[in-house]
Structure 1
């Protein structure tokens, strides 16, 4: 959760720097690089791609290349010194795409943070954890799911999670393993 919150705060900072196109682009590309590296340490590659690169990242890179070509090497190299009201259509297009990309990624980070918080809250309320031994499984194998575990344990509203140790499974005869 801390990683997502840090990345969100960093992207908000980048969004606040997008007044000058060059600074905004450099800040955004640095954010993507750091975010992708940090996310890969804690989530899957697909989730890292989704959260760090977003849906338009590759399109944005193509637009940057187009704008650089259209603006000319000299203008592009001095974008950090150019008036933010620069009239090049291509540069405005890149800036608009950058603003949209950042807004989309902020929303995706909010959604991911909310989903992670919901999962964390769900598993924080474990409920009751009875441990089924070999005798219980041998006597009630076909009806294990139907047993009133909650009634026996006076379980709270969030439920009962029956634990079956591997040792117990190893002790069962093969005919009961199908249950």
Structure 2
């Protein structure tokens, strides 16, 4: 089971990293303080929050087993994804617009944003995650381990994110582009893939 989960994560890891890239890349480029250590910490917090989401999903699905299939269908997953997009967009927007003295400063700092976006991205149920979830349902009480090792298998593809501080130093204009991208992405997540599909 462990090898299968790692292999699934590794073979679909490019999908996972591309799914996270629109959120993580502009966020890291726009970090309020530059530096490799801070970048690594924010990436780790983001990935750790995403792991927490997977861990919680794994516990729920392994405890419920096949009963989870009764309520965790594609329609439910889509609605969950809409709320996750809205939460992610709001977090990115606060992080983009708030500066020192902002009313939402505690929620908008880089570390809080890394936690909130990591948790919300973990709720975007992509095809590889669907596969891991259904294997978890069939794994009995230890099925949640499948989700963890699936996640571990995808981690090598996130190593390039550690190079973002060096890219920001070499091409300073990327920081300005990332700033605009983050604001546009926030509105896109809140309205176009969040509220509009949810309401209409």
Structure having the higher helix fraction is: 2
TM-score, normalising length: structure 1: 0.32
Q: Which has the larger radius of gyration?
A: 1
Q: Which structure exhibits the higher relative contact order, with contacts defined as CA atoms closer than 8 Å and separated by 6 or more residues?
A: 2
TM-score, normalising length: structure 2: 0.30
